[in-house]
Amino acid sequence: MCTGPIGKRPDSVLFVCTMNAVRSVMAAGILRHLCGPSVRVDSAGVNAGAYDPLVEGVMDEIGISIAGHRSKTLDDLSGDDYDLIVSLAPEAHHKALGFAHDKNLPVEYWPTMDATAVVGFDEDEQLARGYRQVRDQLFTRIKNRFGVKGSPSV
């Protein structure tokens, strides 16, 4: 559960990546799982991406369901407000800064590897070297940033 001081923890967080199919989906699922309804969590991409079953699989491994996720873009969220935007890819960071500028929102940049870029391996290796690594790095980063407890084997 979220244990950090509420005054220091944002009430709403938006995670942004390139396609809203892997990194931002994982990050949103992790924070939503760890904090429950105490933090409003959303995700978006610079572009809308396709469903990636490998993401659902690695999240299911740690007991976090992302079933029902539908990819959306920052443009789809133009009327929404957040306390914090976390960008996870260079292109997403640039777009997030533009999105946040008019609303005077803080944006944090967490450079995160693109799990889909791990190629030339069978699916097991792609999962281990790409998807699980990204998931576990995001899990650790989220725990540290938002003052939450739990492990990737929740």
Contact residues for 40 (Cβ-Cβ < 8 A; gap 6+): 11, 12, 13, 82
- The length of the chain is 154
Contact predicate 99/92, CB 8 Å? no
CB 115 within 8 A of CB 27: no
The residues with which 107 forms a beta bridge, in sequence order, are: 85
Range of the domain at 54: 6-144
Q: What is the pLDDT of residues 96-105, one digit of tens each?
A: 999 998 888 8
What's the CATH code of the domain at 118? 3.40.50.2300
Structure confidence at residue 3 as a pLDDT band (50, 70, 90): low
Residue 150 resides in a domain: no
**Residue 129 falls inside a structural domain:** yes
- Mean pLDDT score, 66-70: 92
What is the total count of domains within the chain? 1
Q: Please tell me the predicted confidence (pLDDT) of residue 30.
A: 97
What pLDDT score was predicted for residue 119? Answer: 79
* Residue 97: inside a domain: yes
Threshold 0.75, pTM exceeds: yes
Q: Coil, strand, or helix at residue 16?
A: strand
Task: Name, in order, each residue with C-beta under 8 angstroms of 15's C-beta and a sequence gap of 6 or more.
Answer: 23, 24, 27, 28, 31, 41, 42, 43, 44, 85, 86, 88
The closest of 72, 65, 60, 61 to 14, measured between CA atoms, is 72
Please indicate, yes or no, if residue 87 is contained in any of the structural domains. yes
Can you tell me the mean pLDDT for 58-73? 95
Whether residue 68 lies inside any domain: the answer is yes
In 3D, which of 29, 16, 147, 124 has the Cα closest to residue 73?
16
Residue 5 has pLDDT above 70, yes or no: no
Give tens-digit pLDDT for 71-117.
Answer: 999 999 877 789 999 999 999 999 999 999 888 889 999 999 999 99
